[in-house]
Structure 1
Amino acid sequence: MTGPTPISFIDVAARKDTDDTLPEQCGLPPVRHRFDADSLHAINAALAAERPLLVRGEPGTGKSQLARTAAFLLDRAFRWKVVDAQTQVSDLFYSFDAVERLAQAQVAGTNRGETRSVAELLDELNFVRPGPLWWAFDAEGAAKQDARYQARSGATTATELPRDADRRGFVVLIDEIDKTDSSVPNGLLEALGQSTFAVPRGQVALPRKGPAPLVVITTNEERELPSAFIRRCMVFQIPVPTGRTELIEQLVARGRTHFRRALDESLLVEAAEMVFDDRKAARERGLPPPGQAEYLDLLRAVQRLGVSTDDRSALLRSIRRFALRKHQELHEPASKPQ
């Protein structure tokens, strides 16, 4: 993908090991995030190579948040879609509301006084809504089509076009691609490689006014992805330390980002030690281990339920089994070796 304007990159030296609040983006609420050098280098590498960035890692390690980080630091507009087993590659370009069109057809048959013709009322473009890649490739065209879609339902306002979106460019998040059929990643790369894709009654091509979109794709490794797809991506593996000291340090750093001045450092360390011990127990039984997401949930719960540090420390021990030990096997004694 070749953009017509120079690409801006993230200043890694200035941003690494700092944290900030990612603002509300495309319906997602504000969230604190800590920037690390490896993830920022991965974003820059994908931009420079003009390739999608495939982000691999355990659930709850902040894979999806990396796309929001890129949009924030690059001052780009943001679009996203969580995909699943029913997703088709065309859903990333646009959606077609066939059910509503059928309902309108039934209504049109009873409304004899309708001033518009049935053909005009049931025009397929009235039921087409732009998907994340349509917005990223052609923001102005997507905004016009979205206004047409909204007008059909009587909406007074369409989806707002982000400020200077065509000039600034987009970051697109495609979340959990491992849940889809292999036709989705293959079809996605075909569209990105050709820099164009088909929509009803037309084609959408890469933007002329701004840079090509950065596409960030996440996987929880639930399904093997096509080799050809992986070869054409930059791949960033979010690491989870295996050593006790390293894991505790990483978790505590994340805890400081989210609970600075709200929780005592001793609580952050105590919760991190619990996570390490319960990760070890889960792995010994072949179960998915708790991680960063469960760690933050545990801290959030004790922050809201407790008053003093002593209260919260006691709550950590009480709530631990709900936040970190989610499988029945973890509540049973480990079997002794034969």
Structure 2
Amino acid sequence: MSSLFRAMPKLKPLDAQVIVITGASSGIGLATARKAAEGGAAVVLAARDGQTLNRIADEIVAQGGRAVAIPTDVGDEQAVEMLADKAVEAFGRIDTWVNNAGIGAHGHPSELRTPDHERILKTDYWGTVFGSLAALRHFRKSGEAGAIINIGSVVSDLSVPLMTVHSATKHAVAAYTQSLRLEVLAEGDPVAVTLVKPSAVATPGPVDHSQSTGAYALRVDKGVAPELVAGAILTAAVRPIREVTVGSAGLIMFTGFARVLPELYERIAAAGAQKRKRAVPKPTEGNLYRPRDNGRTRGDMAVAGQSLYTQAQLHPQMTAAAVVGMAALGGVALALLSRRR
């Protein structure tokens, strides 16, 4: 059957799934693991920090969930292949694979050391590639439907001052995800491929886990709750979604502005670069070469509320019904007002 008319893959309900989550020791990955386990899924936790992973897995099991911890450096292709094998050994199969692991560094392009740049690409980009391929091989071997969910960012669509490598890797993740989706469609694989693009998220990552290259670090005052991103990920795990952006609609409008008027955007972004800096006593390594400060879903920044924009993307039918309902109520109110007059 032509890919033009092929039905979307039918994914299992959450409580019938086995979900592999990389970067599960903190932030979005940890929030997703906990939420998935609460929903009845068996979760395979992967990250470099084995001690923290084991503690998280024990907590999930103690609460009646199913979890196994498999320490993994996603930048190592063989290690990722072993992760897939061990997940199947533990639970018999894989239904969803979430490529979430990420590290980062702040600074202008001219300030970044080549080894640090390479290390981030190895984790953020190659980790996504290795995980996607391991999941796809499993799905093709089993013949069952599955989901590959890659975590991009709003900076998959534009570049932001002081977030050079993050912008570059997330552009690459977006391009790879789109290309993988084309292959899956062309080959007729029953695999859903989703790109999740969070805006600023209130995890330890933006501040505590990222390397700073000079006398300053990135200033992030507010972010959406990591649980909101986890909700988007798990929605994509049970219902095929091509792409979803999580966070402020205002930021999304700014992304559109950058596309339409790129030169003006660049001038505004460059002029505001100094405001994105905060002083630090000395440069920090972050978690580039070793795990750091794991076991937390949230950092120290303020947390934004729910995102109606995100909910509209995840539940378009409900949103359309709400809009129609509001319009109908408005019409009734207008008719009553006219009758009174």
TM-score by length of 1: 0.29
Task: Name which one, 1 or 2, has greater alpha-carbon Rg.
Answer: 1
